Chains A and B, each alone.
Chain A
Amino acid sequence: MKQTDRRSFLKIAASSVGIGLLYSAYPAALSAGEAGGLFSALGRANGEKPSPFSFVQLSDAHVGFNGPPDPLGTKAFERAVDMINALPQRPDLVLFTGDLTHDTEDRDVHVQRMKQFQEISKRINVPLIKCVPGEHDAGLDSGGLYREFFGETHYSFDHRGVHFVALDNVTRAKPEVGSEQLAWLKKDLARFPKTAPIVVFTHRPLFDLRPDWEWFTSDGDDVMNVLSAYDNVTVLYGHIHRDDEHQIGAVHHYASRSLIFAFPDPTGVAGPRKTVPFDKEHPFKNLGIRTVSFNGKSEPGATSLSIEDVELTAREFQGINGVHQLFRNPLV
C-alpha cells in the first residue's frame, strides 16, 4: 500500500449555516486511487472501514429563552431544522452540543422546555440525533432531568468508521470533566489505534479561550493529554455562541454558532461578557449551523477536518415584509 499521510485521512468540510454546522467527512486518499487498500487496512485496524457520510452540528438553542437580547424564541432553531431538511445531501446524524433548553428552577417548566426541544428536533429528517448537555440543561440538578429525557451525559459510539465521543463538562456545576470521566475516556479510546478518526463533542471549550467569560474547562488539559495520543481528532463544542477555530497540537477545535443570540469576538474586549445586540433587520445574523460531509472529494495537504460554517438565513423573513412577519406579535 502506498504511504499516506494519516492526518489527511479523514477530512471534514464543514459549513456554518447560521443554524449550526454541516460536516462532510471524506477520505483524502480517494482521489489518489489508493482508497481501496488504505480503507481495507484502516478497516482492519480501526474495526470498521470508513465510508462517506455527512452530519450537522447544532448548538445552544436555549428553548424557553425569550429575550432580550433575542426575542424570537425558537424561530432560529426551527429555521435550522428547515435548512437541514433542505440540504441536498441528507446528513446521517445531528450532533447537538448543549444548552438545548434554557434553565429554570420550576421543574415542570423545564420539563415542558425539554419536550418542546424534542418536538422540534424530531422534525429533522435524519436517522440519528445525539446530544450532550449544557449548563443550562443540567447545571442546577447535576443532569437529573436531562438524563430522563436524553440519557447519559457522556458516552461514545461508532459511525461508518468514525469514533464519536460525547464529553460532559457541565453536570458537576463547575466547568470540569472530572477524574471519573477522564478514566472512562482513557478506557474508551484505548481500543483504538492512533490513526482512528475521532470526533469529540462537548459543550464548553476544552482549552482556555476566555476564562473570565467562563469559556474554559478547568481540567481541559487533562482531556487534551488523552486526546493528543491520536492523530485524527476533532473537537466540536458550543457555549460561546459564535464560530471559532483553534488548534492544539494535531487536535482541531471548532465552536458552532448558537440558535438564539451571539456573543462578540472576545479579542480586545476588556471586562465582562456582553451579548451582540439584536438586529431587527437581520434577525438571524451571527446564528447558524455547521455541516460535515464524507463525500469522496479530496483536499491533499489539508488538516484532519475541514469545516464549513453556514450562517442562518432568514429566507422567508428577509426584508421589511419578513420583519413584519417575524414581529407579528410586536415586541416591546
Chain B
Amino acid sequence: MSRTKSFIVATATTLCLSVSLLVSGTRRVHAENVPVIDITAKRFAFSPDKITLKKGQTVKLRLHSEDVTHGFFLRPLKLDEEIPAGQTTEVTVTPETAGTFTTICDHFCGANHGNMNMTIVVE
C-alpha cells in the first residue's frame, strides 16, 4: 500500500471512530475542526432566525442564552437541547435529510414563548 493510500485509510478510520452516535435523520459526531454556527437565544427569538446546512456536512451549533433558560427542539434532526440561562450549549450534527424545518424553544420562557422559533434549511 502506498503512503498516500495508507494516509487515506488512517484518516477514514479516525473519522469512523469519531462517529459517536448514529441516529435517523442526523449523525452526531465528536469532531474537531468542523464549521461552527453561533445561535443566540433571547426572549422570544433566535438569532439568526434562519440558517442553511448542507446534507451530510457536519456542523457544530453553539447555542447561547442571553437571558433565561431556553430549549432547542427539532424532532427531524433529533435535536433536543437545553440552553441554561446565560450559558452556552454545543451540539454537533450532520443532517441527513433535506428540507425546511422549524426549530422551537421547548422550555417555557414567557408570554411569547409559543412564537420563539427559527428555520433550519438543509440543502
CA distance A170 to B101 in the complex (A): 24
Shortest distance from the beta carbon of B75 to any chain A beta carbon, whole Å: 5
Partner of B101, one of A105, A212, A213: A212
Residue of B nearest to A135 (CB): B108
Shortest distance from the beta carbon of A194 to any chain B beta carbon, whole Å: 32
Cβ of B69 and Cβ of A271 under 8 Å apart? no
Residue of A nearest to B68 (CB): A140
Within 8 A of B (CB), among A169-201: 170, 173-175
Cβ of A140 and Cβ of B114 under 8 Å apart? no
Give the interface residue-count category, chain A: 20 to 34
Partner of B102, one of A140, A170, A173, A212: A212
Residue of B nearest to A170 (CB): B108
Cβ of A173 and Cβ of B104 under 8 Å apart? no
Name B's interface SS: strand
In the bound complex, residues from chain A placing their C-beta under 8 Å from that of B119 are: 271
Cβ of B111 and Cβ of A174 under 8 Å apart? no
In the bound complex, residues from chain A placing their C-beta under 8 Å from that of B100 are: 270-271
In the bound complex, residues from chain B placing their C-beta under 8 Å from that of A136 are: 111
Beyond A212-B75, A214-B114, is A271–B102 a contact (Cβ under 8 Å)? yes
Cβ of B69 and Cβ of A105 under 8 Å apart? no
In the bound complex, residues from chain A placing their C-beta under 8 Å from that of B104 are: 212-214
Cβ of A173 and Cβ of B69 under 8 Å apart? yes
Which residues of A are interface residues toward B (Cβ below 8 A)? 102-105, 135-136, 139-140, 170, 173-175, 208, 211-214, 218, 270-273
Which residues of B are interface residues toward A (Cβ below 8 A)? 69, 71, 73-75, 80, 82, 100-104, 106-108, 110-111, 113-115, 117, 119
> What would be 17 A-B contacts, judged by CB atoms less than 8 Å apart?
A102-B111, A135-B108, A136-B111, A139-B108, A140-B108, A140-B110, A170-B108, A174-B82, A174-B108, A208-B75, A211-B75, A212-B74, A212-B101, A212-B104, A212-B117, A213-B104, A271-B100
